[in-house]
Amino acid sequence: MSVPATPPAGARPMPPPEQPIPWFGLAAVLLGTFISTLNGRLSTFGLGDIRGGVHAGFDDGAWITTAQTVAQMLVLPVAIWLGAVFGARRVLIEAALAYAVISFLEPFSPNLAMLLGLQFMGGLASGFFIPLTLSFILRGIPPRLWAYGIALYALNLELSLNISASLEGWYVDHLSWRWIFWQNVPLALGMFACFKWGSKPEPPNPAGPMPDRFGLVTSGAGLALIYAALDQGNRLDWLNSGLICGLLAAGVILVAAFVVHERRSPQPFINLKVALGPPLPRLLLLVAFLRLTILSTAYLIPQYLGVVRGFRALEVGQTLIWIAAPQLIICPLAAVMLRRMDPRFVSSLGFILISVACLMVAHGLTPLWASDQFMLSQLLQAVGQSFALSGIVFFAVLHLKPEDALTFGAAIQTARLMGGQIGTAFIATFVRIRSQIASNHIGLHIEVGDSQVLHRLQDYAAATGRAVDPATAAGRAATLLVGVVRSAAATQGVIDGFVAIGALTALALLLVVAHKPAPIGPASHLPLFAPRPAPTPAPDLGAKPS
């Protein structure tokens, strides 16, 4: 019978082998977060072209983008449960393959009903991407690389948000609106390949959480109904619509029933101590705040360039690209800063830059601005958004245990979608109301018979009436004056929107500064590249014992 060799008494134990860096896993995370945000933004920018492709009206076609994101909220609890039982890798492989097939079929929809069904199915598949890819970062990547994984996570969200206008405009001008969906096919297949052949299989966990059907249904359906109400509220005039009131009431009741059920259940589906315990609620609120600040570029600038200047999507994209392109440099810089500085400082610096960028635009914006005038503020916005998002997420990660990764991923996805949708609803309604108020105030100074008004109308008529009769020239002059008033009112509404976002950013900054430091964890003290172990000196066999 062989006896295992015993190391000499003076020999040092062998260090554990260094965990290899899963580069393909990082690439899969990059693709997953990229796809999830990009498709929603592309559908928003190209909604008019998609409606035309399936012969849908304005009101019916407004549900095209809603169908996908509602499905993402609905499947969120299921994603957590499946990821805990079967592992994130296996679930993401199947979800990526399903999403590729659905994206290929969507442009062949013969009518709106078929497209809405496929959009809903695509949302069910892509709803796995964000929560499970963030879980993969915390579980499948060495802690010394968490900062870089989270910086990649932030990079993809920012990049996909701000290149969407350029991509949609290029597809429509040079290819077809169908590529809004078809471009997801190679991306999803690349994600599938990276996980399938570039990451290690995870053993299933039969002892994972039991399938709490009541919790799965009430949480997913409640969040989905609330999201649908927020997404359609501005179009249907909020509480003046019975549909919006019904969606909100049903969603709130279901979410409340879920919380009560989880608190009373001996084996809760969601760890509410993690989801609702400090400091996660405040950090999730900051994520929601940040999603609102991102709208200063994702909504307000396209709103101004489209309504006031009449720019097409491709021309709007030439402005937003100044936020997307610098992210490739800012991403590694943010990761290095997170490794060497307090994450609160990194996120605070980001919020300060966002606030300064908003106030720069609010102070100087006029109806004559074009893409070039936004360049400096958008560069500041690019740096600020990347620093703020990566700093907040990394700060939250430092408070977590790896076994809480799935709960954290679901909470981040909820805050991201709900925060973005609440922000969109708030800013869209706020800008619309402020534009109407500005239009009324400007209209009070335009009186029939006023000398300045008559002089302006005469100038417009002289500029347009060279080839037409005087009556037609007068009508065109009045139309031009109405357009000038509308542009000035829309510009004032956008200015007020930038001021509001700057003020909310300052409030988020106060929340960051008032927070306690994060505990020292595995991601906060390990060097980026683990040092090689010192060589063990060979024993001197000729030495005499003392």
The per-residue pLDDT for range 42-88, each reduced to its tens digit, is: 677 677 778 888 888 878 888 888 888 899 889 888 888 888 788 77
Is residue 420 within 8 Å of 291, Cβ to Cβ? Answer: yes
pLDDT of residue 545: 46
87: alpha, beta or left? (left if phi > 0; alpha if psi -120 to 50):
left
Kindly state the percentage of the chain with pLDDT values over 70: 75
Which residue has tokens 């260094």? Answer: 18
Q: Indicate the pTM of the whole model.
A: 0.76
- Whether the predicted pLDDT of 264 surpasses 60: yes
pLDDT of residue 462: 65
Alpha carbon 36 to its chain centroid, in Å, reads 8
- Count Cβ atoms below 10 Å from residue 492 Cβ, excluding itself: 20
- Whether the predicted pLDDT of 292 surpasses 60: yes
**Helix count (H) and strand count (E) of the chain?**
23, 0
The tokens describing 65, both together, are: 């983008």
Mean pLDDT of 107-135: 86
274 to each of 128, 214, 256, 284, 409, how far by Cα in Å?
Answer: 20, 20, 18, 12, 11
The tokens describing 362, both together, are: 């609010």
pLDDT of residue 213: 82
Spatial separation of the C-alpha atoms in residues 377 and 360, rounded to whole Å: 7
Quickly state the pLDDT bin for 458 (edges 50, 70, 90). low
pLDDT of residue 167: 78
Q: What is the mean pLDDT of the chain?
A: 77
Closest by CA to 160, choosing from 171, 148, 152, is 152
Mean pLDDT of 514-529: 56
The tokens describing 181, both together, are: 């969906």
Mean pLDDT of 363-387: 84
- Whether the predicted pLDDT of 546 surpasses 60: no
For the chain, how far is it from start to end, CA to CA, in angstroms? 36
Mean pLDDT of 326-344: 82
Closest by CA to 159, choosing from 36, 10, 23, is 36
Q: Across 185-199, 260-274, 398-412, which has the greatest mean pLDDT? A: 185-199
Is residue 288 within 8 Å of 423, Cβ to Cβ? Answer: yes
Tens digit of each residue's pLDDT (9 = 90 or more) over 380-412: 888 888 888 888 888 877 877 666 666 777 777
Alpha carbon 104 to its chain centroid, in Å, reads 24
Quickly state the pLDDT bin for 120 (edges 50, 70, 90). very high
- Whether the predicted pLDDT of 478 surpasses 80: no
Mean pLDDT of 439-451: 73
Is residue 381 within 8 Å of 360, Cβ to Cβ? Answer: no
Quickly state the pLDDT bin for 1 (edges 50, 70, 90). very low
